[in-house]
C-alpha cells in the first residue's frame, strides 16, 4: 500500500553528514539565509550558528531570548556569554526578547515568537534555518509551524531547515520548573476544536523524560485520555535509559495511566523520522477502527529530548494533532553540566524545499481521513 505521507521520504542528515551539509550547502553563493535560534543559557545555543559562520554563509540571524519571571542569576550570566558569542559569529542580527508568560500568567510565548517571525523581511531569503537546540517546545513549535504554513501558501522562502545539537546527557542535566497550568501549544489544538472531536477516542502519547513525573501527571489529568501509550527512547545512547524510565514511571504505569508492556511505544532517540513514522502509523491504524464510533484523535506531549520532539512536531504538523504541554517557569542547570564535546552530534531535517518533487501530500486538518 502506498503511503501518502508528506515526509516519507525525507531529506535529513546526522553527525558528520550534517556537518558536511552545513559547510557545503550554506557556502553556496546563491544561498541567502535567515537563521533563527535561541539566545539562552543552554551551551548548545552557539553550535549551529558558529558552524554556519565558519562555512562563510550569507546569513542574517534572529536570536530569540525567552524571558521568564525571576530568572536564576547564574543562568542569566550564561545566557549573556552565549549572546556575546552569537553576536560575534553573525554580525547581521537582531535579538528579540519574547515574554513567555503574560501579566495574567497566561502562556503567550508561542504567539509572541510567531509575531516576531512575521515581521522579518523575506524578500531575498532563499533558506530559513530554525535551530531548536536552545528553544523550548512552546516557542519552537509555533515558530516552525508559521514557516511551514507560509511556504505551503507559496508566500515564503522555498527552503526550511531544522537543526538540533543532540546531547541527551545534557538534556538530562537541565531540569525544568513546571508551571501549574497545562494547556495546548499555540497553534496546536488540532482536531479538538471541532465538534466531532467530543466523541473521539483520545490516545495520549507522552514522551517520557527523567524527573518529569509531576508535569506529565498534570498533563494527563488535563487531557483525560481514554488510553495512554508512553514513548520510550530505544535505541538510545544509554542502552539502559528505556528501562530506567520505565522503572521511574512504574507508579504512573500501574495506577493512573493503566499501561502495560504492549502499550509502550519505542522510538530511536537519535532519529526524529522514526518517531514521526511511528505516530503516523498509529494514527492510520486507529482511524478505520474508530471511524464508526466517533473517530480517533492522538494527543502528543513532547517533554523529552529535542530530537524526539522533532518527530512529534512533524507528525503534529502533518495530521494537525494537538500538542498538550506544561510550560516551564524556570530551569535548573548543574554547574558542571557542559557539552561532552565541542563538536556535538548535529541533526538536520530539510523540512520544506525545492529538494522535494511537487506536488506534495497536503497537510491534513482535524479528524480528516
Residue 121 lies in a domain: yes
For residues 137 and 20, state if they share a domain.
yes
Residue 365 lies in a domain: no
Check residue 1 and give its pLDDT. Answer: 45
Average pLDDT over residues 218-243: 95
For residues 319 and 204, state if they share a domain.
yes
Angstrom distance (rounded) from CA 62 to CA 50: 14
- Locate 30 and state its grid cell: 546563491
Angstrom distance (rounded) from CA 369 to CA 365: 9
For residues 195 and 125, state if they share a domain.
no
Confidence of residue 340 (pLDDT cuts 50, 70, 90): very low
For residues 149 and 288, state if they share a domain.
no
Q: Is the pLDDT reported for residue 94 higher than 90?
A: yes
Check residue 339 and give its pLDDT. Answer: 46
Residue 20 lies in a domain: yes
Counting the structural domains of the chain, the total is: 2
Confidence of residue 192 (pLDDT cuts 50, 70, 90): confident
pLDDT in tens, 109-164: 999 999 999 999 999 999 999 999 999 999 999 999 999 999 998 898 999 999 99
Mean pLDDT score of the chain = 93
For residues 26 and 162, state if they share a domain.
yes
Percent of the chain exceeding pLDDT 90 equals: 82
For residues 145 and 258, state if they share a domain.
no
CA distances from 213 to 126, 219, 267 (A): 42, 10, 19
Q: Which secondary-structure segment (H or E) carries 66?
A: strand 59-67
At residue 123's C-alpha, the angle toward residues 90 and 157, to 5°, is 85
203, 227 contact by CB (below 8 A): yes
For residues 165 and 188, state if they share a domain.
no
For residues 19 and 124, state if they share a domain.
yes
Angstrom distance (rounded) from CA 286 to CA 290: 6
Among 347, 357, 295, which Cα is nearest to 321's? Answer: 295
Residue 188 lies in a domain: yes
132: domain CATH number is: 3.40.50.11700
Confidence of residue 337 (pLDDT cuts 50, 70, 90): very low
pLDDT in tens, 262-283: 999 999 999 999 999 999 999 9
For residues 154 and 285, state if they share a domain.
no
In terms of residue numbers, what domain contains 157?
12-170+340-352
240: domain CATH number is: 3.40.50
For residues 98 and 83, state if they share a domain.
yes
Residue 363 lies in a domain: no
Residue 80 lies in a domain: yes
Residue 151 lies in a domain: yes
159, 354 contact by CB (below 8 A): yes
Check residue 335 and give its pLDDT. Answer: 54
Residue 6 lies in a domain: no
Check residue 343 and give its pLDDT. Answer: 61
The pTM of this model reads: 0.95
For residues 153 and 232, state if they share a domain.
no
Positive or negative CA dihedral for 115, 117, 123, 127?
negative
For residues 68 and 165, state if they share a domain.
yes
Amino acid at each position: 500500500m502506498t503511503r501518502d505521507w508528506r515526509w516519507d521520504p525525507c531529506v535529513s542528515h546526522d553527525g558528520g553528514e550534517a556537518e558536511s551539509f552545513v559547510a557545503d550547502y550554506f557556502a553556496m553563493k546563491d544561498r541567502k539565509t535567515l537563521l533563527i535560534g535561541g539566545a539562552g543559557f543552554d551551551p548548545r545555543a552557539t553550535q549551529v550558528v558558529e558552524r554556519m559562520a565558519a562555512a562563510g554563509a550569507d546569513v542574517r540571524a534572529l536570536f530569540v531570548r525567552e524571558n521568564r519571571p525571576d530568572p536564576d542569576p547564574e543562568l542569566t550570566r550564561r545566557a549573556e556569554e552565549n549572546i556575546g558569542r552569537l553576536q560575534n559569529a553573525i554580525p547581521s542580527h537582531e535579538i528579540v526578547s519574547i515574554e513567555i508568560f503574560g501579566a495574567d500568567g497566561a502562556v503567550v510565548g508561542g504567539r509572541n515568537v510567531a509575531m516576531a517571525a512575521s515581521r522579518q523581511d523575506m524578500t531575498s531569503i532563499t533558506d530559513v534555518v530554525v535551530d531548536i537546540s536552545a528553544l523550548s517546545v512552546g516557542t519552537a513549535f509555533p515558530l516552525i509551524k508559521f514557516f511551514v504554513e507560509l511556504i505551503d501558501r507559496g508566500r515564503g522562502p522555498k527552503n526550511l531547515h531544522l537543526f538540533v545539537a543532540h546531547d541527551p546527557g545534557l538534556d538530562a542535566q537541565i531540569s525544568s520548573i513546571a508551571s501549574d497550568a497545562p494547556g495546548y501549544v499555540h497553534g496546536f489544538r488540532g482536531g479538538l476544536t471541532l465538534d466531532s472531536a467530543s466523541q473521539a477516542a483520545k490516545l495520549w502519547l507522552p514522551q517520557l523524560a527523567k524527573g518529569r513525573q509531576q508535569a506529565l501527571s498534570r498533563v494527563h489529568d488535563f487531557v483525560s485520555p481514554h488510553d495512554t501509550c508512553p514513548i520510550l527512547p530505544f535505541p538510545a545512547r544509554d542502552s539502559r535509559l528505556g528501562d530506567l524510565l520505565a522503572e521511574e514511571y512504574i507508579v504512573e504505569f500501574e495506577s493512573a495511566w493503566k499501561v502495560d508492556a504492549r502499550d509502550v511505544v519505542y522510538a530511536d532517540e537519535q532519529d526524529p523520522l522514526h518517531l514521526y513514522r511511528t505516530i503516523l502509523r498509529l494514527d492510520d491504524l486507529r482511524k478505520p477502527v474508530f471511524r464508526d464510533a466517533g473517530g480517533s484523535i492522538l494527543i502528543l506531549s513532547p517533554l523529552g529530548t529535542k530530537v524526539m520532539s522533532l518527530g512529534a512536531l512533524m507528525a503534529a504538523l502533518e495530521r494537525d494533532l494537538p500538542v498538550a504541554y506544561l510550560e516551564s517557569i524556570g530551569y535548573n542547570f548543574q554547574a558542571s553540566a557542559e557539552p561532552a564535546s565541542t563538536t556535538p552530534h548535529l541533526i538536520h531535517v530539510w523540512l520544506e524545499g525545492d529538494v522535494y518533487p511537487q506536488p506534495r501530500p497536503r497537510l491534513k486538518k482535524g479528524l480528516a481521513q
